Structure formats: C-alpha cells, structure tokens
Amino acid sequence: MGLKKAKTSIKKDEEADVGIGTLIIFIAMVLVAAIAASLILYAAALLQQQGQRTVDDAVSEVSGGLTVVNVAGDRNPDGADSSIASGYMPSRDDQPPTGGILWNVTESRDGVSPLGIVLNWSSAIDYGSGLAEEIIYRTSVYDPTNPAVFNEQIARNRLLTLSQLNPSYEMARLTAGFGSDRQYTDYTARDDNSTSYAYAIVGVDAAGNRAIYTPIDSSASTDDASHDEDQTVPVGGSMTSTSRPDNYSVMLFWVPATDAGSGVSQQLLYRSSVSVGSLANVMVDGRRIISVPIGAELIATLNSTASSYADAPSDEGTYTYYVIVEDWAGNQVSLGTLSYIAENVDSIAPSAVQAFCVRQYIQSVEMTWSEASDDETFIGEYLIYRSTSMSALDSVEELRNSTPIASVDSNTIHYYDYSGVSGTLYYYTVVAVDAADNYAQPVIPSNTIQMIEIKVKTVPGSMPILFTSLMIEITDGEKDVTLGFNSAEFGPAGATADRFSVQILRDLDGIFASTFSLSDGGLVKIFVDAGEIGLNLHAESAFSMKFIPSIGQPTIEDCSIPYLGTYRYVNLI
C-alpha cells in the first residue's frame, strides 16, 4: 500500500512540470507574434508611403498640365493699329423725344435794353439716344391791313408740323444746357413796321429723331416803336500781333470787341491769300454787315472771348487774317488785319489714330481711339467716316471726296453712332487731320495673325508648372518651331523667333513673379510672335500648339483663323 501511494505522488508532480512548460511556450509564441506584428505594421507603413509617392507621381503624370482658357490672334502687335474697324448697327432708336413745351414768347419791354423777343421753354426728354440739340425756327408776317393777332395766327400756321419747317426758317441751333427752364432772346426782330413773329422749337436726339415742342404761347408782335432795335456794332477790339510757334505755323493774337447792346455772339476768323486792306461794310435790314472779299476762307468760328488762334497754311505765300465780330442782333465789325508770310509748309501727314476700337451697345456703335500725333504742326480735328464697303475708306483720296458722319475736336477721342440702319454691317474709320489740312492715311487691318495670345492656368489639383522648363511646339503645317520661356522680358516684346513670353494676369502671393511656377489660382497670358517665327496664319488657315511641361501631361490645342473681317483681335478658341 505504501509503494502505490508513492507512485501516485510522483505522477502528480510530473503533471505540474508539463503545465509550466506549456505556459512558457505560449508566452514565447505571444512575444514572437508581437514582434512579427510590429515588423509587419512597420513594413506596411513603409509600403503605404512608397505607394502614395508612386500614386502622386502617376497622378501628376496623367492629370498635371495646363488648361487653355482662350486663344486670341492679334493682327497688329507692333503699334500700327488698324484705323478701319467694323460693327453691326444694333437696334436703332426710332422714338422721337417727348415732353418739350414752348410756353412763352414775349417782346421785351423794359424801355432800356435793345428790342428782343424772349422765348421760354422746357426741353424734351429722350430715353433712347439722348437729346442732342434744339433748333429754333421763326416765321414773320407784315401786313398793316390786319391786326397783329391775326398776323400772328398766320405766322403760327406755318409752324404747326415738322413737315412745314422750311430750312430757311431756321435761326439758331443750341447743343447744350437742356432743361426745364430754357431761354433764348431773338435780337434780330424789327420794330419799325410792327411785324408779327411766330416760333417753333424742335428737339433732335442723337439718332436724328425730331419732335416739335407743344406751343402754349409761340408768337409776338413788335408793335411798340419805342423799343428800338440793337443796330450798334461791337466796339473796342483790334488785331494785335503774330508769332511763330514752329516752322510751319502762325499764332494770331487780338483783343476781342465788346457789345453793350445784345452782346457778342461769335467771332469769325478769315484767311485770304489776297492782300486785304480795310473791309467794306454794308447795311442789311438795318444792321451793319462786313462785306467778305471773294476768295476769303472762313477757317474758324470762335466764341465771344477768344483772343488767339494757331493756323498752318498748306501752301507757301503771303496771307491776310482778319476777325469779324458779330453781336446777337447781327451787327458786325472788323478788328483789322494781320499779315503772315508762309515760307515753309507742313506737307507731311499726321500719324494714324491708335487703339481704334468699335463696340456695340443697345442702340449705338461706339468708337474709341487714342490720340494721333503730328511732328510738324498739330492735330486740328478727327473726321469719322462710315460705309458699307471697306474699299470706300482705304485711301485719303476717297475720304476727301466723301462726307464724314461727324467731326470732333482734337481733344475728343470717342464718338457714338446712333444713325445707322439696324442689322447693317458698317465699316468705320477715324482720320486725324492736322492744322495744314493733311489727312492721316487709313491703316487697313493685316490679313495675317501676327501675335498669338493664350491665357492658361493649371489643371485643378495638378502639380505647379515650372515655366522655365515648359516647352511649346507650334506648327502651321509647313513650319514647325519649339519655343522656350523668355524670363528676361515680359509682355509682347519678349516673344521672339525662339522664345515665348508671358503677362501675369493673376498671381496669388507673387508665386509666379518670384519662381515662374504657375500653381492653382494663377493665370497668365502667353505671347507667341507668329510673324517673327514665320507662321502664315491667314484667314481660314489652321495651326496646332503643344504645351509640354517637365512634369505633367502635354496639352494640345488646334486652332483655326476665321474670316478676315476688319477686327484687330480675332478669337481663335
């Protein structure tokens, strides 16, 4: 019995040893698994990083690159802007002005001032092209056998409708100051024969639509002989001196006359190639009028205070200048004469206008331009011409034989045309004319694209594009060129036969300006000088461009040149 118990005890001790060994093995396996897991996680992280870099590189290779926003062609990049452009006349303003009222016409009766018939009115309103001028018409009746009220009615009956307004009735044109309290005094009325007068006022908008103002009181009679007319000429003025501002011009100086009666209305400057001494005067309808010699040329109509004027005769010779001063009653006086010997004349045409542009608005075509220049004398005026044919505007000879639609002074560089026929394609040109009457030669638009302008930005989400390593391949099917980036000069001047240049349009934080790297949010314009390269990009031809970044997908654009027209800039895509 004792031996059996001893064996049983030993067996139980062995079982304990086995359990501890198993535990040790299990712990060892856990430790090994933990170490292996940490190694696996580390390797996975490393592989993930490498994979992400590979994906980024792949994405940049596939989606990185430039997006072309638009492409435009410039026919005249070297400063020789064409001075002929075209545009379609939009819907024309065919509504006349409304609301004008001629509400009072009275003879002045203060017993002191010269006789005058005072008109008071409210201007019309035009919501289309706008009121451009007001024209005053007058008719008169003298019939001693009828009472004044009867004669006034006869005169008024001649001015009831637009169709009755004979050009001979016109007496004044007013081009400014429109409003609700307008006034004009007619000092040319007579009081020696009790004449009856009737008036009409017509408002004209910029499109040429006319409206006759409603007449509330439009007539008066000069039946009071105590109110004498102004028959006294202006006094006090004189021609004084000349000077030579350059080799081709003469500057005239004078002292303006004054008028205590109706006041000075205008000064008329004449030039004559025939020697003129004293000017004769004649009496016309009670007024003293200067007799203008045959061959004298009216070269300027000036306001009452002008005291100088520059002129440049177009031919050599001796010239006589004189100023005739006229008051509101029509009395005239000469201020004397000044002589000038033109030994040199300006025979060189001024430059053509620059940056000539035509824009369409709702009811008009607007023309804008930058000033022309003249090295010999100075620009005297700009003449605006319009035609349905470009060939009618492409030479000075044709323009001299044509009538411009408008003339503006040398300080004006825009004009609105409201008078065309809706839907009609018109060609326009603005011609600079210098003081010696030399016309600038119209500049016809080039037939080929000289400069290509391309707006570009990066593909959204792509890597920045480094322009110093960007290449552009361009071909017109006959000539193939590869262009690099010109970082030394921006703008069109930086585009050469083997380089493209840029203009920064949008540069966030100055990144492109400092690194030449275009990233999201940036926008630049690329210039390619097609003329310098030798590309023949004429109307209806085509060309292809390929933008090749150092990292990223190349971008290819195919463009075609539309029909010539006369526009300097042509949209290509």
pLDDT digits (tens, 9 = 90+) for 319-375: 999 999 999 999 999 999 999 999 999 999 999 998 888 888 889 999 999 999 999
Q: What is the side-by-side strand order in the sheet with 365-370? A: 354-360, 365-370, 414-417
Q: Round to whole Å and give the CA distance between 28 and 479.
A: 77
Q: Round to whole Å and give the CA distance between 158 and 469.
A: 82
Mean pLDDT of 465-475: 95
Mean pLDDT of 536-553: 89
Architecture, CATH, for domain 354-434 = Sandwich (2.60)
Whether 2 shows a pLDDT value over 70: the answer reads no
Q: Round to whole Å and give the CA distance between 460 and 206.
A: 50
Mean pLDDT of 515-533: 93
Q: Which of helix, strand or coil describes residue 74?
A: strand
Name the residue with higher pLDDT: 32 or 206: 206
Whether 55 shows a pLDDT value over 70: the answer reads no
Confidence of residue 408 (pLDDT cuts 50, 70, 90): very high
Contact at 8 Å (CB) between 376 and 436?
yes
Question: Which tokens belong to 272?
Answer: 């004559």
Cβ-based neighbours of 489, under 8 Å, separated by 6 or more: 501
Whether 276 shows a pLDDT value over 60: the answer reads yes
Mean pLDDT of 134-145: 94
Q: Which helix (H) or strand (E) holds 387?
A: strand 379-387
Whether 45 shows a pLDDT value over 70: the answer reads no
Q: Which helix (H) or strand (E) holds 338?
A: strand 332-342
Instruction: With CA atoms as reference, report the closest residue to 503 among 550, 459, 462, 467.
Output: 467
Q: Give the class (CATH, top level) of 101-221.
A: mainly beta
Mean pLDDT of 557-573: 78
Mean pLDDT of 499-504: 96
Instruction: With CA atoms as reference, report the closest residue to 431 among 349, 513, 488.
Output: 349
Q: Round to whole Å and give the CA distance between 224 and 437.
A: 51
Contact at 8 Å (CB) between 271 and 311?
yes
CB atoms within 10 A of CB 94: 12
Whether 112 shows a pLDDT value over 90: the answer reads no
Q: Round to whole Å and give the CA distance between 413 and 353.
A: 9
Q: Round to whole Å and give the CA distance between 136 and 182.
A: 12
Q: What is the pLDDT of residue 108?
A: 82
Q: What is the pLDDT of residue 538?
A: 84
Contact at 8 Å (CB) between 350 and 332?
no
Question: Picking from 76-80, 263-267, 402-406, which range would have the lowest pLDDT averaged per residue?
Answer: 76-80
Instruction: With CA atoms as reference, report the closest residue to 367 among 412, 415, 335.
Output: 415
pLDDT digits (tens, 9 = 90+) for 162-171: 999 999 999 9
- Please give the backbone phi and psi of residue 317, each rounded to the nearest 5 degrees, phi first: 145, -175
Cβ-based neighbours of 565, under 8 Å, separated by 6 or more: 86, 445
Whether 131 shows a pLDDT value over 90: the answer reads yes
Which residues are bridge partners to 386 per DSSP? 428
What stretches of 187-316 adopt beta strand conformation (E)?
196-205, 210-212, 214-215, 219-221, 238-243, 250-255, 264-272, 281-284, 287-290, 297-302, 308-311
Mean pLDDT of 85-90: 88
Q: Give the class (CATH, top level) of 66-78+446-571.
A: mainly beta
CB atoms within 10 A of CB 520: 13
Whether 223 shows a pLDDT value over 90: the answer reads no
Q: Which of helix, strand or coil describes residue 153?
A: helix
Confidence of residue 154 (pLDDT cuts 50, 70, 90): very high
Q: Round to whole Å and give the CA distance between 515 and 510.
A: 9
Contact at 8 Å (CB) between 88 and 358?
no
Question: Picking from 5-9, 442-446, 564-568, which range would have the lowest pLDDT averaged per residue?
Answer: 5-9
Q: Round to whole Å and give the CA distance between 565 and 151.
A: 60
Whether 1 shows a pLDDT value over 50: the answer reads no
What is the percent of the chain with per-residue pLDDT over 90, rounded to a whole number? 66
Q: Round to whole Å and give the CA distance between 266 and 324.
A: 9
Q: Round to whole Å and give the CA distance between 319 and 308.
A: 17
Q: Candidates 3.40.50.450, 3.30.460.10, 2.60.40.10, 3.40.50.150; correct CATH number of 238-342?
A: 2.60.40.10
Task: Determine how β-strand 465-466 pairs with β-strand 117-122.
Answer: unpaired
